[in-house]
């Protein structure tokens, strides 16, 4: 989650216990194993471009353009790789790192990527719903039940009554929680030392996407209002009150990457999109004088305030430009801005706004993946071999800056977001029918396919921590390995492999491309 989301970017300590000599040997081994097939794709009427393909199985299928038969063939080859396992509670872990190892499949993941992140789960819902998978609706219903649980409702009401609970750097546990222990039948927090692990739950992007998809399901009649409990129905009143109290349009939150709190355009956009969907839902629901709906006038005002910030920040440069350029909160180019195109549905943005988003994100496209933002130190060069390596919360300014000091220049992790960029371009192509969007979708589809891991079941390649990873799997990112003696560099898949958000993103993309045929 993460991040990161990504799932998300954080978890618990995963510090390398290797000696310096053992680490150096592992690094050299990773550099020696490095290898992919470099393909030059030559589209008609456009410039050729390189694609690094790590899985030999996929090399013969890389094309400049695809017809339905070719896309279905790729979908069949990747069927197992893109399958997302749900637990008995109908929810996915962020990553199923041990799914093929019977000796470890029941163990707790030391990175805590076996937790449930709301953001990642909603992307999985989108993928399952797109595929008409019957598991989709139970997943969404479980998340609705989670937010309607007593602990979450108490947090919603507490902030509504006292917005100061979210003000300041020590208030992150007061927010509505966006991550929990997937093995807990009562949705309890991930535990550390017998206590809830400290986590920055101030992530409005996840909350906005939840309320958006909940509202869409009602509008599409996937969920019947009559089948919902009062607590579940009342979420549609509590969430806009929560966003109003928090002043979401100006609030600093940890955002998609769960890091230093900033006023994030992407978080504000996802909340605004969710509020727009609520507007439509309230028009369809029965009136109840004992429990009136949230004021339509207030809702309209919140949406206007959201758009005001979105437009101002896009015009100022991107994600969080309302700080001095030398401030660690300042950022322009950030992959989280892709949220404005997909999965948000922002009715008041224009094609020029979406093109601006793609232009802002473009500098993040790397050799084998997409950086979250420039100078991102999470999973950067030799990350997993450093004594400070961990997947803990780094949302405080002090922790964020300290981790940044470990960054080797130009060694940012390159994430799975090529499928997301392709999905954004395909979404815009379907809306505007401009050839350039379609061409970009093909380019980033190819790059996304290239990210599937190499190796075989009998001869697995090593991840960036020196441990084996699954073949033909989609990692959270590719990490830079650096031989500090020779300066030689290579890429290796993150040990967070496979990541369910990565699977969901590519699965949605393939289905959307097929739907346009």
CATH of 20-515, one of 1.50.10.10, 1.10.760.10, 1.10.580.10, 1.20.58.100: 1.50.10.10
- Predicted confidence (pLDDT) per residue in 271-315, tens digit: 999 999 999 999 999 888 777 888 999 999 999 999 999 999 999
Q: Is the pLDDT of residue 421 over 90?
A: yes
Q: How confident is the model at residue 15 (pLDDT cuts 50, 70, 90)?
A: very low
Q: Are the C-beta atoms of 407 and 37 separated by less than 8 Å? A: no
The tokens for 282 are: 């309230």
Share of the chain above pLDDT 90, in %: 81
Are 372 and 473 spatial neighbours (Cβ–Cβ below 8 Å)? no
335: its two tokens: 């992959």
Say yes or no to pLDDT of 330 above 60: yes
Predicted structure pTM score: 0.94
Task: Provide the pLDDT for residue 288.
Answer: 80
Mean pLDDT of 99-103: 59
Torsion of CA 127, 128, 132, 135, to 10 degrees: -170
DSSP readout, 188-249? PPPEETTEEPP-----HHHHHHHHHHHHHHHHTTSS-GGGS-HHHHHHHHHHHHHHHHHTTT
Report yes or no: 275 and 299 within 8 Å, Cβ to Cβ: yes
Burial (CB count <10 Å: 0-12, 13-18, 19+), residue 377: buried
Domain-by-domain residue ranges, the chain?
20-515
CA–CA dist 85, 128 (Å, integer) = 11
Segment 52-86, tens digit of pLDDT:
999 999 999 999 999 999 999 999 999 999 999 99
Query: Which one has a higher pLDDT value, 186 or 503?
Result: 503
pLDDT tens digits along 345-402: 999 999 999 999 999 999 999 999 999 999 999 999 999 998 666 655 566 667 777 7
User: Could you tell me which residue, 406 or 338, shows the higher pLDDT?
Assistant: 338
Q: Give the integer Cα–Cα distance in Å for 118 and 501.
A: 11
pLDDT-above-70 percentage for the chain: 92
Question: What's the average model confidence in pLDDT over 119-139?
Answer: 98
Average pLDDT, the chain: 92
């Amino acid at each position: 989650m993460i991040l990161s989301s990504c799932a998300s970017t954080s978890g618990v300590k995963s510090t390398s216990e290797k000696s310096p000599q053992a680490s150096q040997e592992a690094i050299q081994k990773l550099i020696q194993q490095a290898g992919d097939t470099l393909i030059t794709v030559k589209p008609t009427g456009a410039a050729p471009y390189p694609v690094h393909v790590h899985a030999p199985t996929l090399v013969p299928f890389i094309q400049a353009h695809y017809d339905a038969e070719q896309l279905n063939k790729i979908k069949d080859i990747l069927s197992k790789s893109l399958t997302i396992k749900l637990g008995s509670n109908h929810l996915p872990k962020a990553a199923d790192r041990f799914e093929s190892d019977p000796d470890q499949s029941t163990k707790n993941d030391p990175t805590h990527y076996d937790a449930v992140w709301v953001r990642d789960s909603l992307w999985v819902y989108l993928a399952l719903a797109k595929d008409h998978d019957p598991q989709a609706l139970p997943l969404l219903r479980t998340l609705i039940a989670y937010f309607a649980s007593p602990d979450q409702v108490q947090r919603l009401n507490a902030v509504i009554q006292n917005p100061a609970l979210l003000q300041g750097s020590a208030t992150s546990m007061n927010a509505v929680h966006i991550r929990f222990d997937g093995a807990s039948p009562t949705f309890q927090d991930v535990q550390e030392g017998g206590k809830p692990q400290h986590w920055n739950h101030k992530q409005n992007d996840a909350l906005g996407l939840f309320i958006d998809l909940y509202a869409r399901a009602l509008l599409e009649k996937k969920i019947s209002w009559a089948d919902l409990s009062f607590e579940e129905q009342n979420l549609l009143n509590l969430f806009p009150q929560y966003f109003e109290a928090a002043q979401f349009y100006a609030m600093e939150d940890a955002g998609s990457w769960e890091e230093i709190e900033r006023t994030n355009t992407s978080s504000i956009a996802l909340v605004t999109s969710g509020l727009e969907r609520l507007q439509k839902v309230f028009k369809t629901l029965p009136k109840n004088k004992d429990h009136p709906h949230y004021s339509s006038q207030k809702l309209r005002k919140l949406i206007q305030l959201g758009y005001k910030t979105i437009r101002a920040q896009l015009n100022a440069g991107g994600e969080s430009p309302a700080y001095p350029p030398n401030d660690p909160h300042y950022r322009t180019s950030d992959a989280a801005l892709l949220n404005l195109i997909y999965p948000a549905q922002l009715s008041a943005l224009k094609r020029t706004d979406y093109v601006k988003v793609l232009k802002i994100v473009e500098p993040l496209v790397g050799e084998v993946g997409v950086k979250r933002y420039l100078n991102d130190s999470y999973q950067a060069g030799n990350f997993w071999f450093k004594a400070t390596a961990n997947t803990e919360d780094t949302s405080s300014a002090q922790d964020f800056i300290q981790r940044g000091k470990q960054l080797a220049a130009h060694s940012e992790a390159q994430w799975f977001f090529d499928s997301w960029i392709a999905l954004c371009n395909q979404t815009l192509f379907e809306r505007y029918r401009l050839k350039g969007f379609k061409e970009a979708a093909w380019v980033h589809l190819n790059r996304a396919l290239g990210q599937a891991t190499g190796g075989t079941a009998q001869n697995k390649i090593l991840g960036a921590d020196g441990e084996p990873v699954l073949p033909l799997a989609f990692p959270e990112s590719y990490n830079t390995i650096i031989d500090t003696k020779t300066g030689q560099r290579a890429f290796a898949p993150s040990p967070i492999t496979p990541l369910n958000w990565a699977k969901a993103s590519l699965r949605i993309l393939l289905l959307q491309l097929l739907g346009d045929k």
